[in-house]
Structure 1
Amino acid sequence: MCRLIAYTDPEGNERRFEYDAAGHLTARINPEGGTYRYIYDDEGRLQPRSTNWATRSPTTTTWTPA
């Protein structure tokens, strides 16, 4: 599987990406070290996301399907 593991923008800021064995995106790390975490259920559905910013307290984002 080809997956994007890092991206550097024209200003030199690197963003990194992590995946699980099934190929689901599990983390996105921004240049400042803040991390978006993605969690999936047993059927591969995206679950509420936990965010841990380097400069802020952890928060959790939830949503309801339309």
Structure 2
Amino acid sequence: MPGLGLYLGAAVDFSGITLPFSVSDLVGSGNALLGLVGSFVLLGLAFAFVPKIIKIIRNAFGQGGRA
């Protein structure tokens, strides 16, 4: 196929690049960030879904248990 390199691009050689952190550092940082922010995300999800769940329960009891 002519022009295939135009779409895929040339291969890049990353062998000479070193990073200042390792994979375990990256995973540890992600875990720490999730520990800090996770409770706020869970609280936001609770505010989003609890009214819907309450509405479902009230509708179920309001109709006498009939669907």
**TM-score bracket, shorter-length normalisation:** under 0.3
Higher helix share: 2
- Greater relative contact order, per chain length (Cα 8 Å cut-off, separation 6+): 1
What TM-score does the superposition give when structure 2 sets the normalisation length? 0.22
